[in-house]
Chain A
């Protein structure tokens, strides 16, 4: 294998993914990633005049310009952990697959696609297994859809104003948009003869958490996808390779990755992830269960911390908005802390259950200003203030933090998160 070690004796990416070097190496890779983001590296070099020499020849696999080093933000190196998308780095709506956020409860499993099988059983006429080749043979569909963890934004919500040095990535980086391709779940359910009395199905992963969630059958008959591709290529391991469930507009955890089993039933299963976790305590001694839908939310991604505006004049305020309940119909911007609001422009395409890019030109007068964005969706839902969410849910609501965010631009141009 010596000729495999082109990178100075380190295990190759393939070896790590193949598990040749064991699971510890996956963690080790993450450490390296986290450190790379922090350690200052010498600036790459470029010729004085690139027109005076021939450039690189074609390569079988492309890579980013050496000047671009976006990184996901890895907080804790545990199997149950996450990494966050650098939202402030992105333009448009698509998240490059290698920057798509991660959340998993038992690490990233290593699955051989040739041995992969999806089992569907329970309240069906014929319990069946499907190989990856079987799944790919069915008519496919592709949809651009966001995926957001319902815990996204929790730190900002619960520590109001305590962390002004928070970037969009750190605050809200558990959301991404991809084009997802797969089989409509209803097609598979028709194949196995899903019985009309089935009201729920269990989705189970083949990771070390053997992740399980109960999903209402209604979602299967609507827009659930059994997905095997993301942005044109097979799913990334972090995103569920080779096959995941994808439930458009719903909290990320329910879109079970590394999907191995679907069981149809007459009742939910009450797994740990839908009881102990992913439930929302309410004032009055109750808790909301099966709170799948992601309400409308928007977020300015420029200018934000750690940006410093170079001086007064024209700047374009940019950001993303999304809703799990259909289409975003409007995004408004305030530059005076919420007293006055003006419409931002929505960049086409404005797709349902998908990030939408918004923009608004702003002539900054050089004085302290507070920037906010507020989204409205097609159901008439308006992104609430933090106070409105507090009133409805109590101070320690655990998930679904879609309150309006604000950013303070100081007179020296430095931007801070302002709650």
Chain B
């Protein structure tokens, strides 16, 4: 068994045993949030998964008030200027041609699906030379690997690599990034089915999907990444304290 897989397997086994005392709360569970995959047409009719409440960037009451005040100030700054009316209205087709981003709630995911198995074939053809046979990284970044117990020791321990399985908080990011930027020599060339398949395969390399699994717009945003709850908003504000 390749080393990275051994780490991933150990990570799954030691899930509850290895959480250090310094980290409070139970370690996050890996894998699906127990929702079976459903066809993508049905998926689009279903409500999207809720954003989890701890997601950095969801504003609390005080932050919403501060934003409203900033908006008022900003508009006041330009209050003396007329509305110019420059520019053209953008049609829905115009927007669709560029609007490729995928939200953490799955917003923007296209119809289609892809299996781990097909992803492996595509990966061997288009990705392996730069990212290694099992995503261990070769010429370029590693894509796979977990930390035993899904700890998050990156500030203090250099032995573990930052990978999709050890660090990425949202699986949707993987789809978004592969579709826009990979493979490096032909960015934007992969159709949605291929992107689903590659996303599925990379998640499987990270121990987050089984070999028989597939992904679509319904199932992808429901994958809970091990590091999802590790991220916090920036608390640096200037002032005498070093953070």
Residues of A at the B interface (CB closer than 8 Å) are 79, 105-106, 119-121, 126-131, 134, 137-139, 184, 186-187, 190-191, 196, 199-200, 202, 204, 208-210, 212, 214, 216-218, 220-222, 260-261, 263, 265, 267-272, 275-276, 279, 281-293, 295, 323, 325-326, 377, 379-382, 384, 388-389, 391-398
Contacts and interface: CB of A to CB of B under 8 A. Distances in A.
B113 to A, nearest CB: 22
Give 7 closest A-B pairs by Cβ, nearest first: A394-B155, A379-B238, A221-B74, A281-B154, A268-B57, A281-B155, A210-B180
B173 A272 contact: yes
A190 to B, nearest CB: 6
A199 B55 CA distance: 14
Name the residue among B86, B104, B176, B188 with the largest chain A CB count within 10 angstroms: B86
B170 interface: yes
Given A210-B187, A270-B103, A275 B181 contact: no
Could you tell me the dominant secondary structure of chain B's interface residues? loop
Contact of B239 (A204, A268, A288, A380): A380
Contacts of A129: 87-88, 90, 94
B67 A121 contact: no
A216 B58 CA distance: 10
Contact of B55 (A267, A286, A292, A392): A267
A131 B98 CA distance: 16
Contacts of B34: none
B75 interface: yes
B13 interface: no
Nearest to B56: A289
B50 to A, nearest CB: 11
A298 to B, nearest CB: 15
Given A119-B90, A119-B95, A269-B104, A325 B238 contact: yes
Contacts, number: 232
B98 A119 contact: yes
A121 B99 contact: yes
Given A212-B180, A288-B233, A381-B238, A222 B158 contact: no
Name the residue among B90, B94, B151, B240 with the largest chain A CB count within 10 angstroms: B90
Name the residue among B57, B78, B172 with the largest chain A CB count within 10 angstroms: B57
Contacts of B101: 202, 204, 212, 263, 269, 271
B38 interface: no
Interface in B191-243: 230-240, 242-243
A396 B155 contact: yes
A290 B56 contact: yes
23 contacts: A119-B94, A121-B95, A128-B90, A186-B77, A204-B98, A209-B187, A212-B180, A216-B57, A217-B67, A217-B70, A217-B71, A221-B67, A221-B71, A260-B98, A269-B102, A271-B177, A276-B173, A285-B153, A288-B236, A295-B238, A377-B238, A393-B243, A395-B155
B41 interface: no
A139 B81 contact: yes
B22 interface: yes
Contact of A210 (B151, B152, B155, B181): B181
Given A184-B78, A210-B187, A290-B234, A276 B181 contact: no
A218 B104 contact: no
A301 B170 CA distance: 42
Name the residue among B68, B151, B187 with the largest chain A CB count within 10 angstroms: B187
Interface string B41-73: 000000000010001111100001011101101
B169 A275 contact: yes
A128 B89 contact: yes
Given A396-B154, A396-B155, A380 B240 contact: yes
Nearest to A391: B242
A276 B162 contact: yes
B106 to A, nearest CB: 11
Given A119-B98, A222-B70, A275-B173, A291 B236 contact: yes
B231 A287 contact: yes
B59 A199 contact: yes
B167 interface: yes
Given A191-B83, A379-B239, A396 B158 contact: yes
B234 A293 contact: yes
A123 to B, nearest CB: 12
B78 A190 contact: yes
Contacts of A285: 20, 22-23, 151-153, 230
Given A191-B83, A218-B70, A260-B98, A287 B233 contact: no
B100 interface: yes
Given A260-B98, A389-B242, A127 B90 contact: yes
A289 B168 CA distance: 12
A283 B156 CA distance: 7
A287 B70 contact: no
Name the residue among B151, B164, B167, B172 with the largest chain A CB count within 10 angstroms: B167
Nearest to B91: A127
